[in-house]
């Protein structure tokens, strides 16, 4: 992949020319005169949302009016991918800008609960010396915050504020009950900074309220807010399902029980309302004209998702497990209402946000993502990409229209231009292409770390 620094024009030229709007002009007079011409950055991550779970992507049984409006105001991508088919490794890809397979200590699978890990929790997390999206943007002079789900390690060793976030409000583990705010083991799991706290309310609403408060603050710096909602991840509880929470049986089986298509819809609609409130706060603060807003999901959907025409779901490397919704709005840069089939992956957002902030990647930790700002600005034509994925039981890559999947000794070659459902194996008909992709995958795998289970 092309490194972020290889875009067709310099980062400084792009930030000053394409964005071209000062914070002082768009912050209600609250920024200092001569504020830096760099955008605020709002990155919104849904949890386990399938490719088709927004009405602008085809969901037939409910409407997501706020995210649909965001898509109308910006660009909507139909070939966006997550770095992995499950929570933790995609968040690794986002924070590091690199394939999760490059990061040691077994972060290619979800991190277990704190109780399950025991003393091993002291060893599992992104190495502290590794630069991150948040540390690089903070180093560029931004105020940084993570509101929502972390799932990249546990306190005291691997909390968000050890990786460049000025503040944190949310859950540390992979899932939390939406009303009791306990993790699957029944332990309290809501933190403000590194302090456990108790709050009354539905998690989606609490995260929204904190994000709105953050956006409205007077400030002298541009901000980077990573808003990682826990919705629509299990346990499946809508905003009116307090009784479900009261009756929940703690433990992974209990957390994953129940739910329905209707409940799932209520969760997504609640998420959409919350995002609408945060976007409204941007407008009321006079900040939306100079804020890059990105929305996507950490992986494909699960049992109640709508992912037509794809097969597979969360935990699987077929398209349904890794193809995700993605929307970007950057006033003065993106073209309103544009729909793009340009392939992109989680780490591209990392490279793009670092570049937009005027940051610079550490050359010792080269990014696997690509700064796509020039494409967002319609200054670059669509281009082919090569992506790689790996899980405990599968390996996969996409190269242009071709998708290669390996499951044990079985190999599959799919032509996504005619078979997005991955039903036909073109391996026998295209042996040279199969051999080429097999060799490319083997070369990539030899260049990353050996797979290590947590």
Question: In the predicted model, what is the mean pLDDT of residues 403-416?
Answer: 97
CB neighbourhood size of 443 (10 A): 10
pLDDT tens-digit readout, 122-146? 999 999 999 999 999 999 999 999 9
If phi > 0 it is left, if psi is from -120 to 50 it is alpha, else beta; for residue 141 that is: left
pLDDT tens-digit readout, 380-390? 999 999 999 99
Q: For residue 454, what pLDDT band results from cuts at 50, 70 and 90?
A: confident
Do 92 and 345 contact (CB within 8 A), yes or no? Answer: no
pLDDT tens-digit readout, 286-313? 999 999 999 999 999 999 999 999 999 9
Vertex 101, ends 360 and 80: CA angle to 5°?
70
pLDDT tens-digit readout, 221-280? 999 999 999 999 999 999 999 999 999 999 888 999 999 999 999 999 999 999 999 999
Q: For residue 414, what pLDDT band results from cuts at 50, 70 and 90?
A: very high
Rounded Cα gap, residues 299 and 102, in angstroms: 19
Q: How far apart are the first and last CA of the chain?
A: 28
DSSP 3-state of 449: coil
Q: List residues with catalytic annotation.
A: 87, 151
Phi then psi for residue 13, to 5 deg, are -65, -40
Predicted local confidence at residue 14, as pLDDT: 44
Q: Helix 87-96 crosses helix 346-356 at what angle (to 10 degrees)? A: 30
Question: In the predicted model, what is the mean pLDDT of residues 361-371?
Answer: 96
DSSP 3-state of 1: coil
Predicted local confidence at residue 343, as pLDDT: 98
The HSE-up count of residue 378 (CA atoms within 13 Å, CB side) is: 12
pLDDT at 22 over 70: no
List residues bridging with 313 in a β-sheet. none
Rounded Cα gap, residues 118 and 192, in angstroms: 23
Q: For residue 26, what pLDDT band results from cuts at 50, 70 and 90?
A: very low
The pTM score is: 0.92
- Pairing assessment for the beta strands 75-77 and 326-329 based on DSSP bridges: antiparallel
Annotate 196-263 with DSSP letters as a single string: E----S-HHHHHHHHHHHHHHS--SS-EEEEEE--TTSSS---TT-HHHHHT---SHHHHTS---HHH
The CATH H-level superfamily of 4-383 is Alkaline Phosphatase, subunit A (3.40.720.10)
Predicted local confidence at residue 7, as pLDDT: 38
pLDDT at 16 over 60: no
């Amino acid at each position: 992949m092309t490194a972020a620094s290889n875009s067709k024009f310099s980062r400084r030229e792009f930030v000053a020319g394409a964005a071209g709007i000062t914070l002082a002009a768009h912050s209600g007079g609250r920024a200092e005169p001569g504020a830096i011409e760099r955008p605020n950055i709002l990155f919104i991550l849904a949890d386990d949302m399938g490719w088709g779970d927004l009405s602008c992507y085809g969901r037939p049984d409910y409407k997501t009016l706020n995210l649909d409006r965001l898509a109308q105001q910006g660009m909507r991508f139909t070939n966006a991918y997550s770095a992995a088919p499950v929570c933790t490794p995609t968040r690794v890809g986002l924070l590091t800008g690199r394939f999760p397979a490059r990061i040691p200590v077994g972060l290619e699978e979800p991190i277990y609960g704190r109780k399950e890990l025991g003393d091993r929790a002291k060893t599992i997390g992104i190495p502290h010396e590794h630069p991150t999206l948040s540390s690089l943007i903070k180093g560029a002079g931004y105020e940084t915050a993570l509101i929502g789900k972390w799932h990249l390690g546990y306190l005291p060793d691997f909390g968000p504020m050890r990786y460049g976030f000025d503040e944190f409000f949310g859950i540390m583990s992979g899932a939390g009950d939406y009303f009791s705010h306990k993790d699957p083991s029944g332990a309290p799991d809501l933190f403000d900074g590194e302090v456990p706290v108790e709050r009354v309310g539905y998690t989606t609403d609490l995260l929204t309220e904190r994000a709105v408060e953050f956006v409205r603050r007077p400030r002298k710096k541009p901000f980077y807010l990573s808003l990682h909602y826990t919705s629509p991840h299990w346990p499946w509880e809508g905003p009116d399902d307090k009784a479900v929470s009261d009756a929940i049986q703690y433990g992974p089986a209990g957390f994953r029980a129940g739910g329905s298509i209707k409940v799932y819809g209520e969760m997504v609609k609640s998420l959409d309302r919350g995002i609408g409130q945060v976007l409204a706060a941007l407008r009321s603060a006079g900040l939306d004209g100079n804020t890059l807003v990105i929305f996507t999901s950490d992986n494909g959907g699960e049992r109640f998702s709508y992912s037509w025409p794809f097969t597979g779901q969360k935990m699987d490397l077929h398209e349904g497990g890794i193809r995700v919704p993605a929307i970007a709005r950057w006033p003065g840069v993106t073209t309103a209402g544009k729909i793009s089939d340009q392939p992109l992956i989680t780490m591209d957002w990392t490279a793009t946000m670092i570049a937009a902030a005027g940051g610079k990647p550490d050359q010792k930790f080269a990014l696997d993502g690509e700064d796509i700002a020039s494409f967002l600005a319609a200054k670059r034509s669509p281009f082919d990409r090569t992506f790689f994925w790996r899980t405990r039981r599968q390996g996969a890559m996409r190269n242009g229209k071709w998708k290669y999947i390996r499951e044990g000794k079985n190999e599959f070659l799919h032509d996504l231009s005619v078979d997005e459902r991955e039903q036909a194996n073109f391996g026998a008909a295209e042996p040279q292409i199969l051999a080429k992709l097999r060799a490319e995958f083997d070369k990539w795998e030899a260049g990353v770390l050996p797979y290590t289970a947590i």
